[in-house]
Amino acid sequence: MIIFASFIHKFNIHFSKNYKYYVDFFHSTKGYLRIALFTYIAFIIFVIIWYLTMPKIEDDERYMDADLEKVSKFFKEIDYGTIFSHLVYLKDKKVFWANEGESLIMYSKYKDKIIVLGDPIATKENLYSCIEEFQAFTNLYGYDVVFYEIEEKNFSTYHDAGYYFFKLGEEARIDLEEFNLIGSKKSAFRNTLRRVEREGYSFSIIEPPFNNEVVSQLKEISDKWLGDRKEKGFSLGWFSEDYIQRSPIAILKNEEENKIMGFVTIMDANDGGETVAIDLMRIDKNAPNASMDYLMLNLFLTFKEKGYKYFSLGEAPLSNVGFNTHSHLQEKLARLVYNSGNIFYSFDGLRRYKSKFSPIWQPRYLAYPKFMSLPEVFINLCLLIANSKERVEKK
């Protein structure tokens, strides 16, 4: 007690000779400020020490770049790939092997989030355990996981794993078994094919490896098509000599000049020969006006003959999102962007172009944890897609 009293006495403050009173240090304003400052500094020191000593995901052997030889072998052995499988060859994503090598997740780390591209490449039976295994891995390092561009058919699995959903848009798929150019309704398509060929152009599909002359022509077309625009990545391919050597390319050729005037790179979904998709599509400004339609129609007919069931034209972003009176607030806001954002991006124009081929429209979603800020997620996604190519080039 004597020691305690002595301690109190040392911190008492005498204010005046006429008004003598004592204020306990711990009840004074200055005392509280000192305690708050000390606590704050101690907390900052703790956070710094914790951050410097905590395990880093980069040190985990499971955090790896894609071994492209291993991935290619895996794709040849499976029949459950996705339309995003081929984008692993961009080298802008990490891969996670789950289910003892039977499942594959393609993802990128951005700030405090892990963003997975598409559904995991896994069988229906392995999908939940694949997600669970990946969650356990990322939880060790404090990262939140979102799945970007997932299919509706897997909702129950993601729901069981604790996810909520936001509709991103709809993917256009051509049913190749039903597609044909027969009848009066298809006369415009037949006229397109005849007109472009009368002007001296032809369609063909060339297989890699491509020689320097071909690559040079493709690059020239790509550079002119891009102009001052910056190429995106992650969920979209970009032109690089290494990347285009990974797949067949459909070309539009001026026969008289023996010159390529347009091209489309093709992605196999590695789903047992069912689905194929377009990746890069670039046309020289001097090519005929209907060149894009000409390439598309020939691609549909070619892969129909090869026995494929579907041809994916990719997504129409924000298409059919938030149109219902009872739609979620976030999706209503997305609808507002769709309706008024055409000065920045032709959302409606892209939907209309793809609709001319009478596709099946399949919804695509974002799966995210409950307490995650959606605006923050979309900002991170936009930055990731915009900067993926630069991140690879800086490696």
pLDDT-based confidence at residue 8 (cuts at 50, 70, 90)? very low
Residues 146, 128: Cα–Cα separation, whole Å = 15
Q: Which two tokens stand for residue 282?
A: 């670039």
Kind and range of the H or E run holding 151: strand 144-151
Contacts of 238 (CB under 8 A, 6+ apart): 90, 231, 232, 280, 388, 389
Give me the architecture of the 59-162 domain, per CATH. 3-Layer(aba) Sandwich (3.40)
pLDDT-based confidence at residue 143 (cuts at 50, 70, 90)? very high
Q: Give the side-chain half-sphere CA count within 13 A for 207.
A: 0
Residue 25 has pLDDT above 90, yes or no: no
Q: Which of 52, 91, 156, 86 is nearest to 390 (CA)?
A: 91
Q: Which two tokens stand for residue 3?
A: 């020691």
More confident residue, 329 or 293: 293
Name the DSSP letter for residue 239.
-
The type of residue at 364 is R
pLDDT of residue 317: 86
pLDDT of residue 46: 75
Task: Write the CA distances from 316 to 169, 278, 306, integer angstroms.
Answer: 6, 14, 26
Residue ranges of alpha helices (H) inside 11-103 are 29-53, 68-77
pLDDT-based confidence at residue 200 (cuts at 50, 70, 90)? very high
∠ at Cα 123 (172, 359), nearest 5°?
Answer: 10
pLDDT of residue 345: 63
Mean pLDDT of 314-320: 85
More confident residue, 25 or 347: 347
pLDDT-based confidence at residue 15 (cuts at 50, 70, 90)? very low
pLDDT-based confidence at residue 33 (cuts at 50, 70, 90)? confident
Contact (Cβ atoms closer than 8 angstroms) between residue 151 and residue 360: no
pLDDT of residue 1: 43
Residue 250 has pLDDT above 50, yes or no: yes
Question: What does pTM read for this prediction?
Answer: 0.85
Strand partners, 265: 249
pLDDT-based confidence at residue 338 (cuts at 50, 70, 90)? low
Strand partners, 96: 105
Residues 97, 378: Cα–Cα separation, whole Å = 26
Contacts of 90 (CB under 8 A, 6+ apart): 233, 234, 237, 238, 240, 243, 388, 392
Mean pLDDT computed over every residue of the chain = 89
Residues 26, 24: Cα–Cα separation, whole Å = 5
∠ at Cα 123 (119, 128), nearest 5°?
Answer: 65
pLDDT-based confidence at residue 284 (cuts at 50, 70, 90)? very high
Contact (Cβ atoms closer than 8 angstroms) between residue 158 and residue 250: no
Contacts of 361 (CB under 8 A, 6+ apart): 170, 171, 172, 173, 316, 319, 320
Contacts of 174 (CB under 8 A, 6+ apart): 300, 310, 311, 312, 313, 357, 358, 359, 360
The four Cα atoms 186, 189, 193, 194 give a dihedral, to 10 degrees, of 60
Percentage of the chain exceeding pLDDT 70: 88
Pairing mode, strands 310-317 and 275-283: parallel
Q: What is the largest CA-CA distance in the chain?
A: 111
Poorest-confidence range of 9-23, 317-331, 370-384?
Answer: 9-23
pLDDT, tens digit, 9 for 90 and up, residues 49-108: 766 667 789 999 999 999 999 999 999 999 999 999 999 999 999 999 999 999 999 999
Mean pLDDT of 289-306: 97
The four Cα atoms 337, 343, 344, 349 give a dihedral, to 10 degrees, of 80
Residues 50, 48: Cα–Cα separation, whole Å = 5
Residue 298 has pLDDT above 90, yes or no: yes
Percentage of the chain exceeding pLDDT 90: 74
pLDDT of residue 388: 92
Residue 257: CB atoms within 10 A of its CB come to 9
Contacts of 392 (CB under 8 A, 6+ apart): 90, 91, 92, 233
Contact (Cβ atoms closer than 8 angstroms) between residue 177 and residue 309: yes
pLDDT of residue 197: 97
Contact (Cβ atoms closer than 8 angstroms) between residue 98 and residue 134: yes
| Integer-rounded Cα radius of gyration of the chain | 29
CATH of 177-308, picked from 3.40.630.30, 3.40.50.10470, 3.30.390.30, 3.40.50.10490, is 3.40.630.30
CATH 3.40.630.30-classified regions of the chain: 177-308
